[in-house]
Each structure stands twice: as structure tokens, then as C-alpha cells.
Amino acid sequence: MKQVNLIFILMYLANLTFAQQTQLRLKTEKEIILETETFSVVLSVEENNDVNLLYLGKKLVNTDEYKLLGKQYKQAHDYTNMYQSVYTASGTRNLLEPAISVQHVDGNLSLDLKYVDHKIQQLSSNQKQVTVYLKDEVYPFFVELNYLANYTENVIEQWAVLKHQEKKNVTLTKYASANLSLKGKDFYLKSYHGDWIAEMQPEEERLTHGIKTLDSKLGSRTNLFRSSYFALAIDNPIAENEGLVLMGGLDWSGNFKVDFEKDPQDNLRIVAGINNYASHYSLAPNKELVTPRFSYTLSTNGTGEGSRNLHNWARSNKLIDGYGERFTLLNNWESTYFDFDENKIFNLLENTKELGVDLFLLDDGWFGNKYPRNADTSALGDWVENKTKLPNGIISIVKEAKKTGVEFGIWVEPEMVSPKSELYEKKPKWVVKQQNRAEFYFRNQLVLDLSNPEVQDYMYGILDDLFTKNPGLAYIKWDCNAVIYNAHSNYLEDQNNFYVDYTLGLYKVLERFRAKYPKIPMMLCSGGGGRIDYGAMQYFTEYWPSDNTDALDRIYIQYENSMFFPAIASANHVTTFGKQDIKFRIDVAMMGKVGFDLNLEELTADELHFAQEAIKSYDKYKHLVWHGDLYRLANPRETNHASLAYVSKDKSAAVMFNYLTSYSQVSKTTSPIKFGGLDAAKKYSVTEINLYKSGSYIPSDLVLTGDFLMKIGLNPVLSKGKRSAVLILKEVK
């Protein structure tokens, strides 16, 4: 027994000595510091040319003190000096989840990336980029790690560029975008799962040792079950207005994988990138694989500040025309489905005008002749007007819209093909499917092979034709309803490249479209919210959160989307889905970009009048919602109501939305709801808009200071008889 103990002690000492020696030997040679207004990322180049992430946290006043950081941590031993690697390579010393793993031409699986150089570029007064050049010690394999800091928005974008000079193709078996490492007492992850009409369902958990993975293997419509966007609180559980929280996701519309690994030192490693599932990517010599960006903010004041950071960044850097205007609209999907003709559409154009919105959007069902699109079983791919429904073509609607004084937009789903279509008959090789297996459908359709440049040309052609043949067309809704089953390309030699090349192909088409049509507003839809990520969003002006348009459910979906995506991008339509009165439905739609999708003839005169007046008010105040700062004041998952406010950047005005979310007969708002983001010293008049049937409980001459509104708050007095209230605050001088 004694002997066994002695052996253990000797083994322990041997290990300790080795580890201590390793640690003692490795001194930091230099630090690379990248800062935003509030946080910093510090990389350390070690004596042996490893590059580690020394720090990711609140910015220090004195940059010289970053180098003293390491000494304050007396953690368990890192046997490898790699637990905090900036890009963990596998096959050599690594013991944890790698960021990259490869198979070289000779079959060897090892990689050890060493510092070669780095470059710091000031791209503008607000953007600084650090590029770190790494190289394997043995093989001609190179990695460039990029960190782009958006200073005032406090957002860092990270991505890698991989290349090699081996004789033949190297197989990348993993190729993440970013590899972070965080220190903290505890880590709390809020992630999102979902399904059709149940998007963005949050779950929060305290992370334990081991790996928690957020991933998608769906190929297209990749957020159907899961978003890659998350919030991670450090030390304490997630809170809206306090605490350190990292928020972000992978800006990629294909398969993704984000691993959270609590390591042997109790630190949290995050490895985020394209999912390597069925995607061991074959990279030719001297070609580059540029990974998508992993973008994140580190808020020092909870998720509220984190969201505002991401919204500011998205409006100035990601969305098309992020600080611009948007069309309010009438859509026909939920009122007609596939059953319409030219007369009905002309009537809908009149309705658009009567309602007072800007644009009419014609949805699915306008195309296909050999196989008319009268149901979701045919015609995707045959993008020619159906002669029975539209005998005079789209152009006649565009012209009629102009006469009526409204804009006109149209729905397309260019990535897809129906087995019952002329395209499928003519181009079976363009279809993603296993040639020797039975087809399997998602919504009766299949996906086109976007890894094939011919298919990319065809897809660009669909869009370009619509605009060249119909000058004046003002808007596109781009849908994507199917996931990829039986992933197989007839074009690619290496099937392992399919999922990645599909998404890159999609971006090539969107890139080309935007080069010719930079400003056309376009909605990103994927059978609801199946594709909401900044990889795609950079080509769009707005997104469709869900086919669930029940206003009560929408409050929850919109609330969670607001964590990452700004209100200007959220297309919120008023429909007849759900039992709420017209006021509640419009009030909910107003916390975003308003649209309608209902039959005006089914509204009573009172309802129609209310809707028309509400649109007029919305036109007055929409800039607050679209361009202002969001403050989430009450979370419907924590209380019986939801409350959100948008405050103008100069703090001179705000709009506050309040919704009673509990359907209990006795439920009401019993306490004031505290504001955020106002100027304590300013005085604000408070008025209620969108009054319907019940009057307002807000006295007509109410003026309160920002101080009162933020310390005490305001009760919108919601109850069974009045389930929502929209209040406008204006500075009184």
C-alpha cells in the first residue's frame, strides 16, 4: 500500500515538475492589445512562439498593466501551454477541443502553429484590425487570424484565413473562426432552440465541466432548430442591466458549431465556426479558405447594453441601409394564400393605399404554367408568371401600383425546386439529391446545388430578370423553406466540400445581386425565422421572425430576437392569427417594421379606422424604433407583462411599448415600470397613442423628469380591459 502511495507521489511530482518547468520556461515575449471603448482582447506571444489569449475582459486604464495579469492567476497546471491558445491546433500537444485539425498530403495529422508576425491596421477612426500570422513548424501550412475591433460599438469580429503550399490538397477536418478563452467564477449560457412557428425559445444553464455544443446540420434553413447566437454571463446569472456578458454568434447561414468547454483549469473555452460535420474540407495548394466571422460584444452592464452594442454595430456595418428608411406594407399571404388573380391584386393595391402603408407585397403562387403554383406541391424553379392568374404579367401590376400611388414587391424562393416543375425535368443534375436513393422532401421540395457556378448564374438570372423586365419593382421577399436532405452535389468532386460551398455559392449570388442593386429592400425569410444570421443579413434590409403571427407569441419571439438584431430589421405583420383585438396586434407589430397581412374587407369600420390612424402615428414615431436605443424594461418570462422602450440617441424622445401577457382575468400591472436610457435632468411630457375603445389612464398634462422615470417609473395601467399601451415621451424645455 505504502509503495503504491509512493509511486503516486513520485508520479505527481514528476508531472508537477514538468508542468512547472514548462510554465517557468515560457515567458511572454510580447503582448498584442486590441481595445474597444469598454473591453479589450490581449494576445501574448510566448517565448516558444505559441500565441495565447492572455485576456478578454473589461478594458484597463493603464495598458502597461496587461502584462502583469498572468501573474495574478495561480491556476492548475496547463501541461501543454495551450489551454488558452488563440487557435488550438490538434495532433501535437493539444489535449482539449481544437480550433483546427488537418490531414496533410502525406497522411500526417499533426499541426503546431507558431507565431510568425502580426500587423495592426487602423482601417478608419472607428475600426482597427489585428492580423496574426501563424505557421506550422514542419509543414507549409499557414493561418492568418483576424480580429476587427469596432471601437464605439464594442463589437469584435474574428475570422481565420487558411492556406498551404503542399503538393496536393490538404484536408481540413476542423476550421473554426474563433477560439476564445474566458476566466470567471462561473459561466451561464443563454441559448436558443426552436422549430417552425416556435422560433427563439431561450434556455439558460450554468455550464459545468465538459463541452456544451450549439450546432446545426440542416445545410439550409439552418436556424430551424437552433440559433448560433447566444449570451454568456461571466460570474453571475444573466441579467438585463448588470454583469459581464458576452453576446454574439457565427455570421454564417450554413451548418455551424459553437463549443463551450469548461477546461481543467475551470476557464471557459469557446470554439466557434463552420460545423465540420460531413465537411472535411479539401483545400487546394495556394487557395484560401476564409472562415465566416464570429462577432461578439462584451457588455459590462448586462444583456441590455450588449444588445445596444450589437444593434449599433449591425445598423452601421451589417444591414443594408441600417440607418435608412423602410417600406410599411400589405402582404397577401395569410389573406389569399395561392388563390388570387390580377383583379384581386389590383384590389389589394387599392387596399394598400386605403390603409396608408407604402407597398403591396405579392407572396407565393404567382408563377408556373405547365405545373401552376396553386399549392405548395409544384412549380418552384419555373419563375414565369402564371398566365391564368397574371395574364398581363408582373409588369401590369407594377404599372397599376404606380397609378394607385403605392410601391410593389414580390416573393421568390430561388434556391428551391419542386419535383413537379419544368426546371426539375430539364436540369435534374442541378438538384441536391442522392442519385441512387429515394428522394425525401421538406415541404414537397428539393434544394438546388448552389456549389455549382451554373446554378449560381441561373439564380442570379432569376432576380436580375425580375428587375430588368419589370422596372419599378421595389421590393423582394426571399424565402427558403427547405432543409437539405440527401446532401450530394453532382458538380463537386469532393462531397465533403458540399455544405460549405453551398453557403459560399449563396453568398456569391447575393454579392452579385447587391453589386447591381445595392439599395433594393429585401426581406430574409426562411419559412419563418429559419435563417437569421449576420452572414445573410448583410445582404438584406429586414428579416421575417416567424410564421407565428399570433401577437401574443410574437411578443416573446420579438423580445428574444431583440437580444441580437435591431428593431428596424424585424418585419412584424398584423394578421388575424390569434384572438387579440386590432389594437393589441398593431401595438405588437409596431416594435419593429410594420406590415399587414389580412383582408381589409374583414375589418369593421372601427378597426379599419384605428389601423389607418395607427399607421399615421407610426409614421411619426417609427424613427425612434428604427434608429433609437432599445431598453428592455420588463421581461414577459419573468412577470405578467412585457415592456420595451426605444430612446432617441440625443435622449430627447422615446416610445414605450407595454403588453399584458398573462390572460388571467385578474392580471394587471400593479407597479410602475422603470425606464432606462433617459436623461435624468430632462423633463418629458408623456402621452398615449393608439387609443382604441378604452381611453388613457395617463393624465393629459403629465410631465415627469428623467430622474423620476428611471428611479420610480410609470404604470401604463394594463388590465383585462386594456392589454396594451404605447406611450410617447418628449422632452419639454
Site membership for ligand DGJ, residue 442 (CB under 6 A) = no
Q: Which of 547, 550, 587, 629 is catalytic?
A: 547
- Among positions 523-542, residues that touch ligand DGJ (CB under 6 A) are 525, 527-528
Element (H, E) at 116: strand 113-122
Q: What is the 3-state secondary structure (H, E, C) of 409-472?
A: EEEECCCEECCCCHHHHHCHHHECCCCCCCCCCECCEEEECCCCHHHHHHHHHHHHHHHHHCCC
Which residue, chain included where needed, has cell 478578454? Answer: 56
Q: Minimal distance in Å, beta carbon 319 to ligand DGJ?
A: 20
- Among positions 128-167, residues that touch ligand DGJ (CB under 6 A) are none
Cβ distance to ligand DGJ smaller for residue 90 or 575: 575
Q: Minimal distance in Å, beta carbon 353 to ligand DGJ?
A: 23
Cβ distance to ligand DGJ smaller for residue 136 or 597: 597
Q: Minimal distance in Å, beta carbon 723 to ligand DGJ?
A: 26
Q: At residue 272, what is the residue type?
A: A
Site membership for ligand DGJ, residue 296 (CB under 6 A) = no
Q: Minimal distance in Å, beta carbon 584 to ligand DGJ?
A: 21
Cβ distance to ligand DGJ smaller for residue 202 or 528: 528
The DSSP secondary structure of 69-92, one letter per residue, reads TGGG--PSP-TTS-TTBSS-B-SS
Which residue, chain included where needed, has cell 476557464? Answer: 267
Q: Is 465 a catalytic residue?
A: no
Site membership for ligand DGJ, residue 544 (CB under 6 A) = yes
Cβ distance to ligand DGJ smaller for residue 411 or 442: 411
User: Using CB under 6 A as the criterion, what x/- string covers residues 377-416 for binding ligand DGJ?
Assistant: ----------------------------------x-----
- The set of cell numbers assigned to 218 is 440542416
Q: How big is the site for ligand DGJ, counted in residues (CB under 6 A)? A: 11
Quick one: DSSP state of residue 601? G
164 close to 170: Cβ distance less than 8 angstroms: yes
The rounded distance, in Å, linking the Cα atoms of 637 and 665 is 18
Sign of the dihedral through C-alpha 616, 310, 253, 293: positive
Which residue, chain included where needed, has cell 473591453? Answer: 39
- According to CB under 6 A, which one of 46, 153, 364, 688 is a site residue for ligand DGJ? 364
β-bridge partners, 192: 202
Cβ distance to ligand DGJ smaller for residue 544 or 610: 544
Piece of the chain touching ligand DGJ by CB under 6 A; list 520-528, 533-541, 623-631, 682-690: 520-528
Q: Minimal distance in Å, beta carbon 528 to ligand DGJ?
A: 5
Element (H, E) at 618: helix 605-627
Beta strands 244-251 and 293-299 are antiparallel
- According to CB under 6 A, which one of 400, 407, 479, 607 is a site residue for ligand DGJ? 479
Cβ distance to ligand DGJ smaller for residue 213 or 377: 377
Q: What is the 3-state secondary structure (H, E, C) of 259-306?
A: EEEECCCCCEEEEEEECCCCCCEEECCCCCEECCEEEEEEECEHHHHH
Q: Minimal distance in Å, beta carbon 705 to ligand DGJ?
A: 44
Site membership for ligand DGJ, residue 363 (CB under 6 A) = yes
Piece of the chain touching ligand DGJ by CB under 6 A; list 8-16, 67-75, 209-217, 521-529: 521-529
The rounded distance, in Å, linking the Cα atoms of 522 and 417 is 21
CB atoms within 10 A of CB 378: 20
Rg of the chain taking only CA atoms, in angstroms: 28
Sign of the dihedral through C-alpha 416, 275, 201, 569: negative
Q: Which of 78, 112, 449, 479 is catalytic?
A: 479
- The set of cell numbers assigned to 401 is 401600383
Residues sharing a CB contact under 8 Å with residue 721, sequence separation 6 or more, in sequence order: 694
Cβ distance to ligand DGJ smaller for residue 317 or 328: 328
Q: Minimal distance in Å, beta carbon 411 to ligand DGJ?
A: 6
Site membership for ligand DGJ, residue 481 (CB under 6 A) = yes
Q: Which residues are annotated as a binding site for substrate?
A: 196, 363-364, 443, 477-481, 525, 547
Beta strands 256-262 and 268-274 are antiparallel
Q: Is 479 a catalytic residue?
A: yes
666-669-673 Cα angle (round to 5): 170
The rounded distance, in Å, linking the Cα atoms of 625 and 236 is 30
Q: What is the 3-state secondary structure (H, E, C) of 18-43?
A: HHHHHHHHCCEEEEEEEECCCEEEEE
User: Using CB under 6 A as the criterion, what x/- string covers residues 175-204 for binding ligand DGJ?
Assistant: ------------------------------
Q: Which residues are annotated as a binding site?
A: 196, 363-364, 443, 477-481, 525, 547
Cβ distance to ligand DGJ smaller for residue 481 or 635: 481
Q: At residue 668, what is the residue type?
A: K
Helices (H), 337-427: 342-355, 393-404, 422-426
- Among positions 306-345, residues that touch ligand DGJ (CB under 6 A) are 333
Piece of the chain touching ligand DGJ by CB under 6 A; list 207-215, 352-360, 378-386, 522-530: 522-530
658 close to 724: Cβ distance less than 8 angstroms: yes
Q: Contact positions toward ligand DGJ, by CB under 6 A?
A: 333, 363-364, 411, 479, 481, 525, 527-528, 544, 547
The residues annotated as belonging to the active site are 479, 547
